[in-house]
Amino acid sequence: MPSSSSDRPAGRKPRPPQLIASGRILIRFVSNADRWGHAVEIDAVECLEDSVRPNAPQADPTLSVPKVIRWESVEGPGDDGDDPRWPASPVMTEIHRMGAGISSPLVGIGLAGRSHFSASITPDPDRPGAIRVDVATRLHEPPRWLGSTYRCLAIPRDLKLVRIVPAIPLPAQLPCTVQWSYRLSLDGIEPLAGTRLEEAGDRRG
């Protein structure tokens, strides 16, 4: 039995990865113990070169080459240290596909502390070849941290964390719902309306 099975709750069968793709971007959700994490992949090594060489020619999208991971979600504790109520990324304990085919939308749901998370992951209707992520959380207590966190792997010598956080003031009354949205494409991570992007050093030490 693989050693990784020791991290899986007793009685739970391994869950196959869930994939969603748009153009040359693919998101691969993988079940790790009590939640789903994910990696954002691009379909050609040349895409990685394009990200660091602005004048490089575009890669042929029909090339059949190994995928490379460009970003990976950071799971577990967020900016509040070891408090599991405020994870680095929304906790997704269930992922469901809404339709057939690798381009059909995915919906995720989860819970951390008293906060309920939900996410919609779908090909972006406003940007061909991109994927849009919409996240919402229902709060019952003031948050110490809210947002999504990725580790950027596009330039291995310069690993960094990228955070997508709500840019609007939180409602004064609880309970309340807070939302943030962003786009994943070959151009990077783009915050959408009501959301901002932050960068920080890698906290792995």
CA 17 to chain CA mean position, Å = 14
Query: Is residue 8 situated within a structural domain?
Result: no
| Count of domains observed in the chain | 1
How many Cα atoms are found within 13 Å in the side-chain-facing hemisphere of 197?
A: 14
Question: Smallest Cα–Cα separation from 46: which of 60, 28, 62?
Answer: 60
**Average of per-residue pLDDT values in the chain:** 81
Q: In the prediction, which pLDDT does 189 show?
A: 93
Domain assignment present for 4 = no
Q: Is residue 49 part of a domain?
A: yes
* Inside any domain, residue 42: yes
Instruction: Flag whether 103 is in a domain.
Output: yes
- Is position 116 within any domain? yes
Residue 90 included in any domain: yes
Give the pLDDT band (50/70/90) at residue 42. confident
Residue 74 banded pLDDT, cuts 50, 70, 90:
very high
The most confident of 31-35, 60-64, 73-77, 106-110, by mean pLDDT: 106-110
pLDDT number for residue 202: 52
Residue 41 falls within a domain, yes or no?
yes
Report whether 91 contacts 117 (CB < 8 A): yes
pLDDT confidence bin for 43, thresholds 50/70/90: confident
Largest CA distance in the chain: 53
The whole domain housing 127 covers 15-201
Does pLDDT of 205 surpass 50? Answer: no
Residue 59 · residue 44 · CB < 8 Å:
yes
pTM score, whole prediction: 0.79
Q: Report, as an integer, the average pLDDT of 90-116.
A: 95
